[in-house]
Structure formats: C-alpha cells, structure tokens
Structure 1
Amino acid sequence: MRAKACTKCRQWKARCEYGEDDSAGCSRCRALKLPCVFDASFKRTSRAKSLQMMSSRIEELQEALREKSPSNGSSSQTREHNETLPLNDWSPQLPSIVNTIAVAEPPMPDLQPIPPAPSISSAGTTSTGYRTLGNVSLTYGQINEHFKTYFARCHQYLPFKMTTHSPDPIYTKSPLLFWVICTTAASWRLRCELAPAVKAMLADSIYSFPRSVEQVQALLIMSMWPFPVSSVMEDVSHYYCCLATQMALHLGLHRPTQTHLHEHGMEERENARAVGEEVKTTTWLSCFIVNQKLSAIRGLPPSILIDVHLLNAFEKRSINVRLSQLCRIFHVLMQANLAISANGSTPSGMLEPEQRLNTIKSWAEHFLILEQQHLQGMDNVVKIAFLSSRLQLWSFALLDDMPVSSSLIAFIDNARRDASVLIESCYSQNLSIVPACIRHAMCYSAFILVKILRSGYSSESEVLQDDVERVRQALSTTSGTPDDTHHKACETLRRLLYIEDKKLSPPIHTRMGASVVYDLLRIYAEDKYCNVPNHGAENPVIDLEGLDWNFLDMLG
C-alpha cells in the first residue's frame, strides 16, 4: 500500500502535494531537488533526536577542522575570538561547516528552525544547543534566561567575584556551578525536577579532584537557596556551607596573596593561577557571611574564627561595598551572641539576667556605631541583614527569666519596632526568588512579635497581630506543599497566639539568639504532641512516643 505523503513531508509534518506527473515527485521535493520517496514503513524522527544527530555531526566536523588547521598564531587568535562570542550568537568562523550541514541535511521549514550553530569553548569542546542533566534538558534560551535572572536578582545577596558570568565558560570550568545557577533561578517545578541530579552532583563534590573556587561558590549558593524540606533535620544547607569552608581553606582562599600549594605537579595549583586575588578574597568573605548567617539561624557557634587578615579584608576598596557591609554586620552579631549566650558561666552559656541586660546595652552601642560609620546609604539587602541581626540582640531581653525594669521595657519596644520594619522590608521582596534567609528573617520577626504578645508588655496588640498575619500570608505564598517548613511555620504562628505554656520541660536558653524561637516551638510541641493524663500525681507524665522530635528543629 502506497503512503499518502513522501518521507520528507512526513518528517516535517507538512502537506504533500503531488504534481501532474507522479514520477516528478511532490512540489516540495521538486523545489529542493530531492528524490521523492514513498515508504509506508517510514517512522518520523523526533525533533530532539534530529537536533542530537545534528549536534553530533557538528562536533565531528569541527574536530576534523581543528585537526586540519595549522597550529599557528592565526588559528589561536581565531579560537580566542570564538571564546568571546555570546551564547546565542551564530558562529561566523565556521562557514564551511554550516555549508556542509546544509548539503548533508535539507533545511527545515519555518515551523522548525535550525538552532544557532555552537561556539567553541575555551577547553576546545563544542557547546550544543542545550544542556542535559538527568531527565532535564535546557535550551539555549532557557539557559540564557536563568543566568540573566540569577545575576540580576540573586547574586546581589551573595556578591562574590566570579571569573566569568558566561554560561559556556562556567560549564567548562565547573558543571556543578553551572547547574546550581540554573537551579537557583529556575521555576519551582523545574527546581523539583533538577533536585535529584543536583543533589547527587553536590554529594560527589566531596570526592571530586582537583577542587576549585567554582566548587566553593556552588556550595555557597546552594547553602543560601536550598531545596524545600519538611524539617530542618532534612536541610543540609549548613553542611554545604561547612564543606565550602573546608574546601576554601584547602585552596588557601583565606590567604589569597600567599602560595598555598607547591609548584610541581599540582593541578589545583594550575587552576589557582587562573583565579585572581579579588575572586579568592570575595569567595572567602562569602564563606564567612554564610557561615555566620546559618550559625545564627540555628543558634550555634560559628566554625570560622576571626583573624586580622579577615578584618583587613573588610577595609579593601576593591571589595564590593555590599559584601563588606554584610561582613561587618555578621561580625558584630556573632561577637554579641558569643558574649551573651555562649561564653557565660551558667550551664546553658547564657549570662545571668542583670549581667545580660548590661551586655545588651553595650552591644547595642556597637550596632549604633556600626550603622553610623559603615552602613550609610545601605540598600535593602544590607538593611534586612542589619535589622535581623539587631533583632537577635533584643531577643535576649525577651527570655522569661528577665526581671521587669525600665531598660527591659525599652529593649522590648526596640524589638517591636525593628521586627515591624523588618517585616515591611521583607514583604516588599519577591519571596519566590530570594534566599531562604530572607524568609527566615520574616519568620523570626513574627516569632519575636508573638513572644511580645504573650508577655503582655505591648499596648498595641492589634497592630502586632496584623504584622504576624502579614507574615503568615506572605509565607503561605511560598509554600509548595502542606508538608514544607513554611506551611508549618504559618500554622505554628497561628496557634502560638492563644495556647498556654504547659511548662512540661525546661525552657530553651542554649540556642543563642534563636533561643526565643526554639522555646516557642517547645510550647507548641508540648501543646500538640504531649498527653498529660491526670492520675493525681504531683508531676504530670509526658507521653514521648508521639512527639515529633524533628519538629523542634523545624525553623532552626
């Protein structure tokens, strides 16, 4: 049985029109001067497979072209010029290849245009029209958009210097960094599709060799934009940060002007030669910022110690102003946290109430000096970091063991004001693209307001409740599933406004500036999970079988 359309028209999904003389073929084949073949068993090749075959053919032809080209100055200049081409440019240096392809494969109709010819990367490999990771493939257009989005809207939160911002060179240097950037700027659906493969690449980075600055930067980005989780016990962002810190120390980023590896036979040393001092310094400062930030969120001591070289880097004029300001903020924050709630003589590490009150006053002055001397004209990114850091200082006055005094009331009023301003600053952000620490800052502010409402020290309870509700509404828009931490936070904030502290377990004072949050989570967990049967006993019995222990770390 003869087919209704020739093989070429079936491949292109085009209407096949016969001429008066069937032997001359259809009108399209006659125009292209191609044989018109009718085959009932012909199966159409998908567009993706056609592009793969074409890309493979291009690679073969380019490899043959390079082998035949003489190794002289002109050829190297041609390669250098090709490296500067944008990702979506046609390659004018390869006319013979394009002509060869045109002869080997007839041009596609307008509905299926041929993608741009690939450019040659610095490593001598060709970049095809898309990149594939696992079951996900991205086109040139998608890759360009993801990179534009990342550097326009994400990179400002962690502005370390990079050797390049172009997708192809980044992919050549570090596929991990390439895919992390694409994942960070991708939509929620695409992030979920990329998550398994990217997580596997991140795990493999532990064993990869040689290590590079790009790997450190990729781990830092993933620490700031982690994948959604249902519990902080599942969140590995802090571990990514610690791994990035150890890699940075191994590469000598903490001493960017000094030799850290010997000259002979070291591939990592060769890679380090191509990295400038500014890239090394800003990457190490970013390690410091993320380490201090995540440590403060979890209420844990930091793993990066302050030394004179780190402090001197804050003063360098070549360093991005925003990066320097963030370093100064988190330096003051962590010093205050350690002085008040980690180095105390009590078992929890917390200073006694009277001494704590005086120390809060002292560090409040440090924050004021910092704001006046170094944070003039701060943008919204720096403002959110400053307010959330100072709010942690005020939180030490909200613990239940503090005696009532005029100074205490003043600190609580400062906490209320900073929390409201911080919520307003975060509320103006696009919460779907900001790093997780911005959403945590909103949530932390709401917990502080809930603590003030429960203490009864505020006369504007309606206003504070409205602010808490704004946080709940904002966080609910970023909740992908009912089981993730943001959805749980919304429910927790709602119930904490009216449940009673049963005091079934001691208050939590060991989490530094996060102690207020963890203690409120204790109250919530006791109310929701603990059975208190009344058997006439003086001390109630707590049923620990049904307690979700992961929940206490939900927002840490």
Structure 2
Amino acid sequence: MESPEFSAGMRNQGPNGGPPKRKRSIMESSPASTGDNDREERDDGSPETKGGRRLPGVKRACNECRQQKLRCDVVQEPFSSCSRCNRLHLECKIESNFKRVGKRSKHAEMEKEIERLRRAVQSAKSQGFVVDEDDDNNTPGNATHSQLHSPVINSHYSHTRNPSLMGSDEAVSSLLHLKRGGSYAMPRIVRELEDFRITEDDEGVLFNDYFHYYHPFLPFLNPHQTPDQYYQQYPLLYWAIVAVASRRYGHDRSFLTKLSSPLTRLLWTTIGEVPQSYFAVKALCLLCTWPLPTSTSSSDPTHILSGVLMKTATGLGLHRPNHMNDFSRVPIELNKEGLHDRIKTWAVANIVAQAVGTGYGQPATTLYDWTLATRQGDTSPASLGPELEARLQIERFCDKVSKEMYSNASDPRGVAGDEHRAMLMRVYRRDYNELAASVLSKGVSPVVNLHLKAAGLHLRLAGFFDSNNSPNYLDDLMGLWRATTSFLDFILDGDPSCHDHYSYQYRDQYMLKYASNFIQQMLVAAGFSLLKLLRSFFAKIIDFDRGRELFHRTIQAIRTTSVIQNDLYWRLAELMVQIWNGAGRENPNAYRPDGTDPVVDDSLQLKVRCRHSMSLVFDSIWHWREEYQARGRGTLDALKQPTNPDSANESSASSTHLDSTLAPPSHGIPNLGLAAAASNGSITPGGGSTTMGGNQQLMGMNGFDTLDVWDPQHWMLDGLLDFNYTFVPPIEGA
C-alpha cells in the first residue's frame, strides 16, 4: 500500500516522470506585470478574458512584439504605442494580416542576397570595372568589403520576396559601401527591370518631367507621392510613368529604347494575372495615352489594351465605387479620399478609352453611367474638378457623334444616310457650340481647349461622307475647312488672346513635344484633310496660299510629335509629302485657282467608309496605293532617310511640280528619285529621272510599292522598316 508521501510526490511530477510543472499565477499574467518585455506570449498575440479564454478577433500585441514573441502593453482605443516600441524607437502598429518571419529564413535570404551581390561584383570586375581592396580584404570571402566603382553596387535593391527584409537589403548594400571614400558620388541605382537599371538621379528627373509636362494632359495621379510609393503600389505603374517621361528625356536619348522591351514583357505578364490590381487601371491609362513607339499597326497593342483597361476597371467595380464589396471577396472600406480617387480613375479610364476609339476609328468601349453623370455644383467625392469634368464632357460628345453617325444598323458599313446625317449635323453643330461655351466659361487650360477643337474636327470630318449633290455640300466642306484650320492654328500657335501662365507652353512647342497619341492622330487627320481639300475643286473657294503654308507647317509639326525617327508618325508625314508632290505634278490645275467658278465633282468622296471620322486617313493612303502601285518597284531607302522640310528655303511662288519646303536634300538619299530629279530640273515626261540613270517611274523609285501589305483595318504602313520594340533609333537633337 502506497504511503501518502509517495502519492503526493507522484501527483507533483511532470509528464514522463520529469520535474513538476510550475503553475502559472494570475499575477504573472495580469496586465500589471507586463513591464518585463522579455517574457514570451502566444504567437497569435490574443489577450485573455477574465476566465482565461481567448477573446476572438482581437489583436493585442503590436507587430514588433509579435515578431519577437514578447508581451505587449499597447492600447488600441485610443491608440497608444507600447513601452517597448517607445524605448527602441520602433513603429508601433497592429495589422490583422501580419505574419511572423522566422529568423532562419531571414538569415538564409540575407545570405542569398550577399551571394548575389558577390556575383555582381565578379561580373563587374570581368567587364573592366575597378575594385579597390585592402591587402587584408582581397580574398573571395571578403568580397563584400570591396570598393567597386560601379553603379550596380551603389544600389538599393528592393526586390525581395519578403517586405520585412527591406531593411536588410539596405544593410547589405551599406556593407558594400564601407571604406568607399569619394566613390559615394557615383550614381546609385534604385530600380531594376530585367537588365534595365535606373539611377536615383534619373528617377528624380523623370518623375519631375512627367508631372511638369505630361500630367496636364491627364491630371489624375498624385504629384505629391514619391517614386518609391508608386513602386510599392504597383511596379507596372511606376515603370509606365518612367516610360512616358523618357519620351523626351534629353539626358539619355536611348533611355526609351532600352526600356521598351523589358516594359513590354512586364506589361503582358502583369495584365495576364488574375485578379487584377486597382493600380493596373492607372498604368493602362498611361500606356494607352502615350503608347510605346512602334513602326507598324500589327505591333501596336493600344486598341487591345484599351479594351483590357475597361474590362479590368469594371471587374474591380470602379463603375460602382459605392458598392465595391459586390466585386470583392474581402470587405473594402473606403474613406472620402479613396472613394474620390476611384471615381477619378474611372472617369479617366472612360476618357482614355473614348480617345482610343476616336483616334483609331473603332467603336469605343466606354460606359457613361450614373457615376459619371454631370451634377452641377456637386462637392461630393463624385466631383472631378473643372479640368477632368470638361474633358469628360468633350469625350461624351465624341462618343455621341460616333455612335449616331457611324453606327447605322441598317447600313452594311454602319454609316448614316445622307438625309439623316445632314439632320444630325445640324443638331450636333448646336450641341458643339453649347459645349464650347460651357467648357470655355470654366477657364480651363489650353490642353482642354485643344481637345475641344479636336472634337469639332471629329464632327466636321463627316463632311467627306456627303454626296456632292446634297444641298449643303459646300457649306459642310467650308465648315470642315474652318474646323481643320482652327485646330491647326491652335496647336501650332496657341490662343493669341491667352496671356496667362500657359503661354510658355507654345513658346517651347509644348503641345507638340508632349502630345498624346490621340492628338497625334488628329494632327495626321487634319493634315490629310488639308491635302485632300487643296488638291480638289474646293481650292478655288478657299485661301490656297494660306492652306499651302499651313500644310507645310503641319508636316513639320507631325515630325515634331514623333518620338523616334521613322516611327509611325514620322513615316506618315513622309507619305503625306510624297502624296502632295505626286498630286501636284499629276494634276496641277486641280488645285490652283484661276478665277473661274469651281465645278463641283465627286473627287472628295471616300471609298473607305468603315473607320468613322478617321476613314479619311485610310482612304487617302488607299487612293495613293491604287494610283501609283503599278508604276514600278523600288527600295526602302527613302523612308530610312525621310525628307526634311527644313533642308531648303521656302519658295516665294508655289510650284506646280514640287514645293521646295518639302524637298529632301539631294545628298545622302540615294533612291529618292522624284525629289532629286526635280531639284536638278531633270524630271522626264514619263516620270523618270535622268540623274538616277534610266527611265524609272515617278513613285516606284521611292519604295512605296511595298504597300501591298497595307491592311485597311489599320493605318500604319505595315511592312516598311519594322523596329517594333527591340530597336528604336533616337531622334538626334529632338
């Protein structure tokens, strides 16, 4: 029989016969005893109720104390930092989704980072970079203490998989800067995208350029955020801002060339992810407004991206900002600022999508619903401000014109009938005048005024669809002439009555250098409009000399908007020059007024009529192709070195064969037969050039016979000198 002492000893033993388990006293777990911050706490950090049970859904310990498994005396309501964070000067915060990071994994990742930096040092040394090492630190194991004069090591890497290791990256980078001395002046790389690197100085200049020059065209990003904040929000948004700003980056003309390919791969990888981020909509707005330069329509994804933009926005519920939870798996609570930002982003998405649809002559994927309804005097978060509100009104007007005039369900090409279109034109002329009065009364910027004039040109381009027998035919053409010249005068010279702080924009060709893709497209449409009107019977009604001078300036303006030499707009300007010269030689009496009344004919009728108001552009190039296609075959040398309007002085008298302002220099362009022959006065009656040796045809020598691959569903010279995104030669001196 067991003794009482033996039974009591067995009861006091711990598991497996070990020492007795020490009971936890109430005093030790009470809040009053939390002064010792070295005691451990449960991993979930949940406090206990009076009965010793957990209080579900409550996080008591702050992130720093939970990371170290220490007790925490943080007060949540009202919030007061814990004593440990105050003593160690740490950021005291409580996050419901916080997860501890094990020290072993943290150390392992630091070791991997150090090893990667060592390989970068060795790679830089193999490329000829100078490494200064002390005698006692020139072993491979001490490579982290080396002084490397390379921007690669002067960097702050932020591409760790664990955000909590950001500080360790900076610490590792600091180790590499020990004993560096004067090498601190070297540029410091702050971001990497594949093999593309951007330094801290370049980043600062580019972000400053974006918000100074490009932001007025699409004012919806926050200029007070830092580049690092944009990167933390969404890397694609950060690189989109860098790409837009690098279009005119004078410090390094090859910046955009180097960034194009990595950014393209990042773009398609990012938009393929599901679910999408709200900031992806902002990035797509930028890349659709200022696309990466390309040379062919087949490699221009802007129209596709605009559709992705709108589907992403609606998938995230931006069109229902007050009911975001209907489109999310987790609850979303927005404050007033967050709600306003989403409404603004939704408005900008519609503005961008409408501009893409109008510029490419395609149906726009816009959604103008209650969220974007105009409410005068509204000061709620739905208010967009005068600039965006005016832009939204203009784009809604363009959408109405496109849908009513070019979406006729009873016509195979979708074009409204002559009588219906004439009635719509009268209605929309009145609507446009009311819109202009409303927009201009708000004192908007010249950028908004420019888009207003572009909307007027978009409306009036329907005049090319009219029959020459319609009663108001000449009136519509005169309205088109006025809309074209008004748009061109404004973008070239600005508003002469404007004497405010916007006047600097015109002195520096602000509107042209930093123009969006839509403005470039409308500038091309205006140029083709002048070309078609001045080469028709209508030239006898208007001021031909003024139109001719304005056309020459338009050619130069299109080339000014071109970001890369021989990109789409550079080459379209070259084609317009060739069409002008060829039409002048072929039919000189068609555009020179001789004092007689004009004979109205159907020469202005369009054959291409399925591309809305931009049908004029496609029709003009198709007309040129059919007119000169069978006259010979040639090379692409003319496009490799396109004509330069500044290469010759302006002739006082307009020539019926070749305008001197559009003539190319005779040197350095081996196969530009027409211009070289005309400058030497040796154009043969058959169109050949004696200077080039042989009776070669007029336009065949210029290499434009390759327009056999012209796709009528696009408008950008497929097959002529492609560079896509891999080769982008910079414009010298731009």
User: Aligning the two structures, in what range does the TM-score lie when normalised by the shorter sequence?
Assistant: 0.7 to 0.9
Distance 1:238 1:37, change over 3 A: closer
Alignment-mate amino acid for residue 332 of structure 1? F
CA distance in 2, matches of 1:181, 1:38: 42
**Alignment partner, residue 108 of structure 1:** 181
Cα separation, partners in 2 of 1:354 and 1:11, compared to 1, 3 Å: closer
1:460-471 equivalences in 2 (<5 Å)? 460-471=543-554
Question: Cα–Cα, structure 1 residues 410 and 400, in superposed 2: closer, same or farther, change >3 Å?
Answer: closer
Count of residues in Structure 1 that have an aligned counterpart in Structure 2 = 465
Q: Offset at 1:434?
A: 2.4
What residue number does 1:190 align with?
255
Aligned residue number for residue 404 of structure 2 = 339
State the SS of the aligned residue for 1:334: helix
Partner Cα distance (2:339, 2:304) in 1: 26
Aligned match of 1:80: none
Q: In structure 1, what is the Cα distance between the partners aligned to 2:324 and 2:152?
A: 49
Partner of 1:342, secondary structure, is: coil
- Aligned residue for 1:378? 444
Give the counterpart of 2:525 among 441, 444, 447.
Answer: 444
**Superposition deviation, residue 546 in structure 1:** 6.5
- Could you tell me which residue of structure 1 aligns to residue 6 of structure 2? none
Residues 55/334 of structure 1: CA separation in 2 closer, same or farther (3 Å cut):
closer
Q: Counterpart in 1 of 2:305?
A: 240
Q: 1:271 to 1:181 in 2, by over 3 A?
A: farther
Query: Is residue 221 from structure 1 mapped to residue 221 from structure 2 by the alignment?
Result: no
**Equivalent residue, structure 1, for 2:234:** 174
Q: State whether structure 2 residue 351 is matched by structure 1 residue 293.
A: no
Alignment check: 8 A CA contact 2:191 2:199 kept: yes
Paired residues for 1:379-398 under 5 Å: 379-398=445-464
Indicate whether 1:157 and 2:234 are aligned.
Answer: no
Instruction: Spell out the pairing of 1:106-505 with structure 2 (5 A cutoff).
Output: 106-109=179-182, 112-113=184-185, 129-162=189-222, 165-186=225-246, 187=249, 188-261=253-326, 266=330, 276-312=338-374, 316-317=378-379, 318-343=383-408, 345-376=410-441, 377-399=443-465, 401-403=467-469, 405=471, 407-427=472-492, 428=506, 429-430=509-510, 431-457=512-538, 458-479=541-562, 483-497=566-580, 498-499=582-583
Aligned CA distance change for structure 1 residues 347 and 103 (closer, same or farther; 3 Å): closer
CA distance in 1: counterparts of 2:356 and 2:293, whole angstroms? 16
Distance 2:206 2:333 in 1: 26
Q: Show CA shifts across 1:66-92 (max 9, x none).
A: 9xxxxxxxxxxxxxxxxxxxxxxxxxx
Give the distance between the partners of 1:178 and 1:247, measured in 2 at CA.
18
Relative to 1, partners in 2 of residues 1:133 and 1:440: Cα closer, same or farther, differing over 3 Å? same
Q: Which moved more, 1:387-396 or 1:310-319?
A: 310-319
Shift, 1:150, TM fit: 0.9
Counterpart of 1:547 in structure 2 is 708
Residue 48 of structure 1 corresponds to: 151
Amino acid at match of 1:554: W
For 1:531 and 1:162, the matched residues in 2 are separated by: 56
AA aligned to 2:708 is L
Q: Counterpart of 1:519?
A: 619
Separation in 2, partners of 1:113, 1:189: 23
Between the aligned partners of 2:176 and 2:352, the Cα distance in structure 1 is 55
The equivalent position to 2:609 in structure 1, one of 497, 509, 520, is 509
* Cα distance change, pair 45–309 in 1 and its aligned pair in 2 (3 A): closer
3-state SS of 1:131 partner: strand
Q: Is the 8 A contact 1:329 1:389 kept in 2?
A: yes
Q: The residue matched to 1:294 in structure 2 has which SS?
A: helix
Aligned runs of 1:77-88 on 2, under 5 Å? none
8 Å CA contact 1:223, 1:290 repeated in 2 = yes
Give the letter for the 2:364 counterpart. P
The separation in 2 between residues aligned to 1:37 and 1:301, in whole angstroms, is: 67
Give yes or no for contact 1:164–1:170 (8 Å, CA) kept in 2: no
User: What is the alpha-carbon distance in structure 1 between the residues aligned to residue 448 and residue 483 of structure 2?
Assistant: 14
Counterpart residue type for residue 289 of structure 2 = M
The CA distance in 1 between the partners of 2:402 and 2:176, in whole Å, is 71
Q: Is the contact made by 1:131 and 1:139 (CA closer than 8 Å) also made in structure 2?
A: yes
Q: Which has the larger radius of gyration?
A: 2
Closer/same/farther in 2, CA of residues 480 and 363 from structure 1, 3 Å limit:
closer
Change (3 A) 1:398 1:35: closer
Counterpart residue type for residue 242 of structure 1: G
Counterpart AA for 2:711: N
- Partner of 1:286, secondary structure, is helix
SS of the residue corresponding to residue 138 of structure 1 reads strand
Aligned residue runs from structure 1 range 8-23, under 5 A: none
Cα 1:294–1:313 change in 2 (3 A) is farther
Q: Is the alpha carbon distance of 1:495 and 1:133 closer, same or farther for their aligned partners in structure 2, counting shifts above 3 Å?
A: same
Q: Could you tell me how far apart the structure 1 residues matched to 2:577 and 2:607 are?
A: 21
Relative to structure 1, the CA distance from residue 337 to residue 207 in structure 2 (aligned partners, 3 Å threshold; closer, same or farther) is closer
For residues 50-69 of structure 1, the C-alpha deviation after alignment (integer angstroms, 9 at most, x for no partner) is 425x869xx99x95989xxx
CA contact (8 A) 2:147 2:180 kept: no
CA pair 525-275 structure 1, distance change in 2 beyond 3 A = farther
Task: Give the TM-score normalised by the residue count of structure 2.
Answer: 0.57
- Whole-Å Cα distance in 1 between the matches of residues 429 and 384 of structure 2? 27
If each structure's helix is expressed as a fraction of its own residues, which one has the higher value? 1
1:18 corresponds in structure 2 to none
Whether contact under 8 Å (1:231, 1:550) holds in the other structure is: no
Question: Structure 2 unaligned runs (5+)?
Answer: 1-127, 493-505, 588-601, 633-704, 718-734
C-alpha displacement at 1:288, in angstroms?
Answer: 0.8
Distance 1:63 1:236, change over 3 A: closer
Q: Report if the CA contact (8 A) 2:315-2:327 is conserved.
A: no
Aligned pairs for 1:20-39 within 5 A: none
Aligned pair in 2 of structure 1 residues 315, 206: CA closer, same or farther (>3 Å)? farther
Asked whether the 8 Å contact 2:467–2:473 carries over to 1, the reply is: no
Alpha-carbon shift at residue 144 of structure 1 (Å): 1.1
Pair 1:443–1:112, CA change in 2 (3 A):
same
Alignment of 1:57-72 (within 5 A): none
Gaps of 5+ in 1: 1-9, 15-28, 67-93, 116-127, 533-543
Q: CA deviation at 1:137?
A: 1.2
Distance 1:231 1:222 in 2: 17
Q: Is the 8 A contact 1:12 1:108 kept in 2?
A: no
| RMSD over aligned Cα atoms | 3.9
Structure 1, 189-198 or 414-423: larger mean CA deviation: 414-423
Q: How far 1:319 moved relative to its partner?
A: 0.9
Write the distance in 1 (CA, Å) between the matches of 2:455 and 2:532: 17
Q: Which amino acid aligns with 1:218?
A: A
| Alpha-carbon distance between aligned partners in 1 of 2:409 and 2:534, rounded to the nearest angstrom | 28
Per the alignment, residue 85 of structure 2 pairs with: none
Q: How far did 1:488 drift?
A: 2.2
Cα offset, 1:478, TM superposition: 4.3
Structure 1 pair 136–103 and aligned structure 2 pair: CA distance change class (3 A): closer
What displacement does 1:220 show?
Answer: 1.0
SS for the counterpart of 2:608 is coil
* Distance in 2 separating the partners of 1:448 and 1:528: 20
